[in-house]
């Protein structure tokens, strides 16, 4: 069952349909930092992350603090993510930095699945994890893949896409031991698209 979901779009963080934070910050960098401070998260490593990891981290933070995650051993928490731009946002920044002095801090984030690693480290997730790249949000992919994860696992899944000013995040929790909405592609599409308007470009 889909128990909780988080949307980050248009410099707004929405959890289960409720706006938790909005900012008119001039840049995505400022918005992510403002959100981190406003939500009173204490995790200094956040400051060194790239924007893709920061966006995924914030959404995961909002969801896992609402869930009964502590009742699951790390081996029984899974993570399935996807996006359209992989790590291209950071790849381009690294390529630009390499014209003078290559930045090791940027190089660390030139793989799309690093955001998954950051979330796993923070929440001690040790179960199944996967990262897919597709042109658009693919609800059928999530329905199919997440359904293969053992039924006694908690699964954090969804879309984390960042490119320049563009940020489009939709994460959700799939928990068969709790009440919620059926885990179907139609439900995922409805939650991804409803009430939030058009994602920023």
Residue 16 has pLDDT above 80, yes or no: yes
Q: What is the pLDDT of residue 201?
A: 40
Q: What is the pLDDT of residue 66?
A: 67
Residue 142 has pLDDT above 70, yes or no: yes
How many angstroms separate the CA atoms of 156 and 5, rounded?
Answer: 9
Q: Note whether 122 and 46 are within 8 A (CB).
A: no
Q: What is the pLDDT of residue 69?
A: 58
Q: What percent of the chain has pLDDT over 90?
A: 78
Would you place residue 32 in the very low, low, confident or very high pLDDT band (cuts 50, 70, 90)?
Answer: very high
Taking the model in full, what pTM does it have? 0.92
Q: What is the pLDDT of residue 68?
A: 59
Residue 197 has pLDDT above 50, yes or no: no
Q: What is the pLDDT of residue 135?
A: 96
Q: What is the pLDDT of residue 98?
A: 77
Q: What is the pLDDT of residue 67?
A: 65
Residue 199 has pLDDT above 50, yes or no: no
Digit-coded pLDDT (tens) for 71-119: 789 999 999 999 999 999 888 887 887 777 767 778 888 899 999 999 9
What strand order describes the sheet that includes 129-133?
Answer: 18-22, 12-15, 2-9, 166-175, 154-163, 77-83, 129-133
Nearest CA to 154 out of 13, 38, 4 is that of: 4
């Amino acid at each position: 069952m889909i128990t909780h979901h988080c949307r980050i779009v248009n410099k707004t963080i929405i959890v289960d349909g409720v706006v938790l934070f909005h900012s008119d910050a001039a840049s995505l960098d400022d918005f992510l930092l403002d959100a981190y401070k406003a939500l009173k998260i204490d995790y200094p490593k956040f400051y060194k992350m790239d924007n893709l990891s920061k966006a995924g981290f914030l959404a995961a933070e909002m969801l896992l603090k609402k869930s009964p995650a502590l009742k699951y051993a790390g081996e029984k928490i899974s993570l399935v993510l996807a996006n359209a731009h992989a790590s291209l946002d950071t790849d381009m920044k690294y390529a630009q930095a390499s014209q003078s002095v290559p930045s090791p801090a940027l190089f660390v984030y030139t793989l799309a699945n690093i955001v998954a690693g950051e979330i796993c480290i923070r929440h001690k997730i040790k179960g199944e994890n996967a990262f897919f790249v597709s042109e658009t949000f693919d609800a059928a992919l999530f329905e199919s893949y997440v359904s293969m994860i053992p039924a006694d696992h908690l699964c954090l899944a969804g879309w984390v896409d960042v490119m320049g000013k563009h940020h489009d995040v939709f994460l959700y929790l799939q928990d068969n031991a709790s009440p919620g909405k059926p885990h179907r592609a139609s439900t995922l599409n409805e939650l991804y698209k409803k009430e939030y308007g058009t994602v920023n470009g």
